[in-house]
């Protein structure tokens, strides 16, 4: 083989280990460039600075780059602002829209751009990943390691290797590996600095050594490193999300049985959770999952599994998706029922807009989806969320927004708890009841204590729980 990188997709890790020199052969510290500074990339860039590296974050969005450069994280993520400020002050991190300059500067290039669902199908839109990979490769000024972190359908990295091979300037070498990210919004800083595992897909020995150096901190703490091939690394990430989504839809399906049989799904979930083989996490029956990852990731996997002829996986995920979306209908039905058959001109207080607590992310948020659907049916909806008010207002400007729980509850015919922020689950029902027109609450997250709320005079309804007052 004359130039092994002309068709890098077909090379084995052993071939590459011979071919790729260390990114910083002069012994200087590894320079890390992060492409895409959204929820994943901004956190990753700051975490890399925290681990001691010099970092550039590059994004096509000027306003995001300006905010980050000014020390303002453009989204809510606990703990990220002070770390960003600290590393900006230390001169360890900078942000730019000059993608070519970042590509020319870095030794290790992390791809953290979005992979949203395509508008016309369930498949992932890979145009941002392809564009980032091409830009990096085309502008390299030295041999480099390109590390994919975005969540992609299996087979994407092999295609990107071909794209990269076609773009790398003559005489330079670039290796692409996949290192999927598992961080949770709301716990992103902790998850990035102290991950449960590090998965490295398709690495040569040299690339593995470089990434072990990058992740030396977490590895020293005992974080396991799984070294595997490209397709397995790509599939680990989407399978993890598919499993979590399946667990949520499982308990939501069982909650339907509980309602029909007069059982209580919250007690059932606690009892199930004591079994260490099952575990209690992701067994909260309720409004279901949303956000920028789980829904689009299971749909992309469904699509890819179909393409690959793995129809059973696709059928399973179709059910998971249907059960999940059905939960939004169930909550709407409860609201209509609470308002006596129609929500038209009823005042409804919605507590929660974010897709889950500790984030301001409203992408495919079940809470906001339900609020908008109630508005569409003629209800006067007032939404309060401690962090997601601004992002929600940008997505649904026609809804009314309150600045406190009390303001959202004032004069309502029914209150819906749609995101399980502590502020809502610990709210005082005795103090809130007199503010309402009629004290009715729908707990769509299974986190309120029905007896306490009923004891304070509230009509209480929840998913998978007996509708009748406790005996």
Which residues are marked as active site?
293
Contact 234, 154 (CB under 8 A): yes
**C-beta of 187 vs 377, nearer to ligand NAD:** 187
Q: Which of 9, 17, 60, 456 contacts ligand NAD by CB under 6 A?
A: 60
Q: How many residues bind ligand NAD (CB under 6 A)?
A: 27
Tokens 């015919």 sit at which residue? 413
Rounded to a whole number of angstroms, the distance between the first and last alpha carbons of the chain is 78
Asked if 185 interacts with ligand NAD (CB under 6 A), we say yes
Whether residue 144 contacts residue 167, with contact meaning beta carbons closer than 8 Å, is answered with no
| Beta carbons of 109 and 144 less than 8 angstroms apart | yes
In this structure, how many other beta carbons lie within 10 angstroms of the beta carbon of residue 457? 13
Residue 297 Cβ vs ligand NAD, minimum distance, rounded to whole Å: 6
Cα gap 99→35, rounded to integer Å: 8
Sign of CA dihedral 167, 169, 170, 171: negative
Does position 137 interact with ligand NAD (CB under 6 A)? The reply is: no
Of 324 and 382, CB closest to ligand NAD: 324
Which residue's entry shows tokens 């986190």? Answer: 447
CA atoms within 13 A on the CB side of 113: 22
The DSSP-derived string for 181-198 is ----TTSHHHHHHS-S-E
Task: Decide if residue 110 touches ligand NAD (CB under 6 A).
Answer: no
Per CB under 6 A, the list member of 8, 56, 64, 123 interacting with ligand NAD is 64
Decide: is 115 part of the binding site for ligand NAD (CB under 6 A).
yes
Overall residue count recorded for the chain in this entry: 471
Q: In the bound complex, what is the minimum distance in angstroms from residue 276's beta carbon to ligand NAD?
A: 26
- Residue 274 or 394: the one with the smaller Cβ distance to ligand NAD is 394
Considering only the stretches 2-10, 109-117, 171-179, 206-214, report the one whose residues sit in contact with ligand NAD under the rule CB under 6 A: 109-117
Token pair 């790398």 in the structure block, residue: 168
Looking at beta carbons only, is 286 or 292 nearer to ligand NAD?
A: 292
Does 282 sit near ligand NAD (CB under 6 A)?
no
Of 189 and 417, which CB lies nearer to ligand NAD in the complex structure? 189
Is 35 one of the binding residues for ligand NAD (CB under 6 A)?
Answer: yes
Residue numbers at the binding site for ligand NAD (CB under 6 A): 35-41, 58-61, 64, 99, 112-115, 128, 131-132, 150-151, 181, 183, 185, 292-293
């Amino acid at each position: 083989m004359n130039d092994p990188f002309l068709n890098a997709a077909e090379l084995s890790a052993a071939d590459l280990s011979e071919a790729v020199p260390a990114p910083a052969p002069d012994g200087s510290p590894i320079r890390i460039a992060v492409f895409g500074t959204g929820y994943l990339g901004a956190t990753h860039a700051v975490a890399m600075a925290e681990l001691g590296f010099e970092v550039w974050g590059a994004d096509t969005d000027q306003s995001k780059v300006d905010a980050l450069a000014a020390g303002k994280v453009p989204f809510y993520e606990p703990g990220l602002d002070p770390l960003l400020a600290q590393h900006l002050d230390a001169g360890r991190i900078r942000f730019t829209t000059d993608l070519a300059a970042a590509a020319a500067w870095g030794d290790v290039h992390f791809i953290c751009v979005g992979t949203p669902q395509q508008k016309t199908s369930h498949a992932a839109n890979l145009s941002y990943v392809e564009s980032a990979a091409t830009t990096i490769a085309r502008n390299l000024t030295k041999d480099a390691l390109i590390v994919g972190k975005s969540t992609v359908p299996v087979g994407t990295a092999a295609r990107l290797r071909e794209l990269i091979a076609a773009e790398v300037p003559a005489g330079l070498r670039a290796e692409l590996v996949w290192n999927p990210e598992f961080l949770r919004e709301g716990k992103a800083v902790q998850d990035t600095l102290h991950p449960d595992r590090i998965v490295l897909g398709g690495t040569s020995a040299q690339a593995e050594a470089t990434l072990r150096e990058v992740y030396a901190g977490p590895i020293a703490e005992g974080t396991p490193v799984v070294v595997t091939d490209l397709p397995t690394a790509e599939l680990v990430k989407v399978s993890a999300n598919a499993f979590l989504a399946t667990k949520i839809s499982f308990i939501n399906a069982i909650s339907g049985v509980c309602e029909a049989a007069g059982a209580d799904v919250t007690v059932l979930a606690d009892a199930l959770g004591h079994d260490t083989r099952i575990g209690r996490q992701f067994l909260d029956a309720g409004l279901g999952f949303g956000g920028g990852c789980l829904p689009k990731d299971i749909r992309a996997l469904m699509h890819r599994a179909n393409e690959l002829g793995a129809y059973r996986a696709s059928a399973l995920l179709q059910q998971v998706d249907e059960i999940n979306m059905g939960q939004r209908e169930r909550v709407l039905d409860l609201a209509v029922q609470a308002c006596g058959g129609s929500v038209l001109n009823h005042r409804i207080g919605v507590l929660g807009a974010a897709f889950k607590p500790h984030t301001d992310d409203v992408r495919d948020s079940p809470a906001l989806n339900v609020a908008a659907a109630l508005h569409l049916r003629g209800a006067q909806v007032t939404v309060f969320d401690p962090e997601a008010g601004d992002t929600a207002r940008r997505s649904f400007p026609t809804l009314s927004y309150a600045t406190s729980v009390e303001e959202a509850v004032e004069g309502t015919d029914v209150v819906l708890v749609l995101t399980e922020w502590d502020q809502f689950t610990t709210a005082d029902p005795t103090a809130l009841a007199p503010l309402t027109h009629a004290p009715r609450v729908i707990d769509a997250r299974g986190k309120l204590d029905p007896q306490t709320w009923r004891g304070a005079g509230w009509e209480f309804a929840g998913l998978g729980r007996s509708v009748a007052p406790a005996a």
